[in-house]
C-alpha cells in the first residue's frame, strides 16, 4: 500500500463516506465538496485517506466505493473499527509501527521513537505524529499515554481464571465475585451498578 498519509482525521473521513453513501456510492468529487460547502482541496485529504485504506477509488474526478467501502459504511461501529485496524496494518507505516511496539521491551514507544519511524516514510513527521495517534487510538491499535508521551500497546484479553485458581465457595454472591472477572465490585456497591458497568463495557 502507499506510504503517503494525508492529514485527515477519522471523523472527517467518516463524514465524507456517509455523504458518498447518500449519493448511492458514486459521485463527482466537485459535487461532494459542494454538498459540504467546501473547496475541493479541503476534502481531498479525507478522500485520499479513504483511498489509501482501499475504501474508495477515484477516477476522472469521481469517487466510488469499493466492495470493502460498501461493507464499511453498512457496518456497526465495532465492525468499522475492525476493518480500519486491518486496513491500517496493511500500510507500510502502521505495519512498521506495530512491529516496533510488539518488539519493544516494554511494548511502548516514545514520541521521539515514533518520529524516527515516520522519517522512513514519505509522511511529514511534524504533521504525521498526531495524525497517527488519532487513527491508531480510534481503531484501537494502541493507547497513548499523554503524561509520558508514549504509545502503548493495547493489552490482549486474558482468561478470567487461571488453571490453578480455585472455584468460588458455595453461596458466593455476585458482589463477592465481580462481573465475570472484568470489574470487581467495590465495597458497598450494588450488583445492579456492576451490571450497568458491564453493559457499558460491552457496547464501548
List, by residue range, all CATH 1.10.10.10 domains of the chain: 10-74
pLDDT at 162 over 70: no
How far apart, in whole angstroms, are the C-alpha atoms of residue 57 and residue 50?
8
Q: Read off the pLDDT of residues 2-21 as tens digits, 9 standing for 90 and up.
A: 445 678 899 999 999 999 99
Q: What is the pLDDT of residue 53?
A: 94
Residues 121, 103 contacting (CB under 8 angstroms)? no
Residues in the chain: 204
Q: Read off the pLDDT of residues 49-88 as tens digits, 9 standing for 90 and up.
A: 999 999 999 999 999 999 999 999 999 999 999 999 999 9
Q: Which of 204, 25, 2 is CA-nearest to residue 88? A: 2
Domain 10-74 fold: Arc Repressor Mutant, subunit A (1.10.10)
Q: What is the pLDDT of residue 126?
A: 57
pLDDT at 202 over 80: no
In which band, very low, low, confident or very high, does the pLDDT at 140 lie, cut at 50, 70 and 90? very high
The DSSP result for the chain, as a single string, is --S------HHHHHHHHHHHHHTTTEEEHHHHHHHTT--HHHHHHHHHHHHHTTSEEEETTEEEE-HHHHHHHHS-HHHHHHHHHHHHTTSHHHHHHHHHHHHSTTSEEEHHHHHHHHTTSSS-HHHHHHHHHHHHHHTTSEEEETTTTEEEEPPPP--SS-TTPPPPPTT--HHHH-STTSSPPPTT--HHHHHHHHHHHHH-
Q: What is the pLDDT of residue 123?
A: 54
Of 26-40, 41-55, 85-99, 155-169, minimum mean pLDDT range: 155-169
Amino acid at each position: 500500500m502507499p506510504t503517503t498519509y494525508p492529514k485527515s482525521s477519522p471523523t472527517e473521513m467518516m463524514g465524507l463516506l456517509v455523504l458518498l453513501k447518500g449519493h448511492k456510492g458514486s459521485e463527482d468529487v466537485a459535487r461532494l465538496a459542494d454538498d459540504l460547502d467546501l473547496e475541493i482541496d479541503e476534502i481531498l485529504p479525507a478522500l485520499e485517506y479513504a483511498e489509501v485504506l482501499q475504501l474508495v477509488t477515484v477516477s476522472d474526478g469521481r469517487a466510488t466505493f469499493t466492495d470493502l467501502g460498501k461493507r464499511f459504511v453498512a457496518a456497526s461501529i465495532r465492525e468499522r473499527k475492525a476493518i480500519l485496524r486491518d486496513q491500517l496494518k496493511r500500510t507500510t507505516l502502521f505495519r512498521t509501527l506495530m512491529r516496533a511496539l510488539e518488539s519493544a521491551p516494554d511494548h511502548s514507544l516514545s514520541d521521539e521513537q515514533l518520529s524516527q519511524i515516520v522519517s522512513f516514510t514519505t509522511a511529514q513527521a511534524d504533521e504525521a505524529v498526531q495524525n497517527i495517534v488519532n487513527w491508531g487510538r480510534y481503531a484501537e491499535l494502541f493507547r497513548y499515554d499523554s503524561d509520558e508521551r508514549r504509545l502503548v500497546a493495547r493489552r490482549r484479553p486474558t482468561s478470567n481464571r487461571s488453571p490453578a485458581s480455585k472455584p468460588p465457595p458455595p453461596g458466593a454472591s455476585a458482589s463477592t465475585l465481580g462481573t465475570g472477572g472484568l470489574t470487581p465490585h467495590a465495597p458497598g456497591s450494588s450488583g445492579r451498578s456492576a451490571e450497568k458497568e458491564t453493559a457499558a463495557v460491552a457496547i464501548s
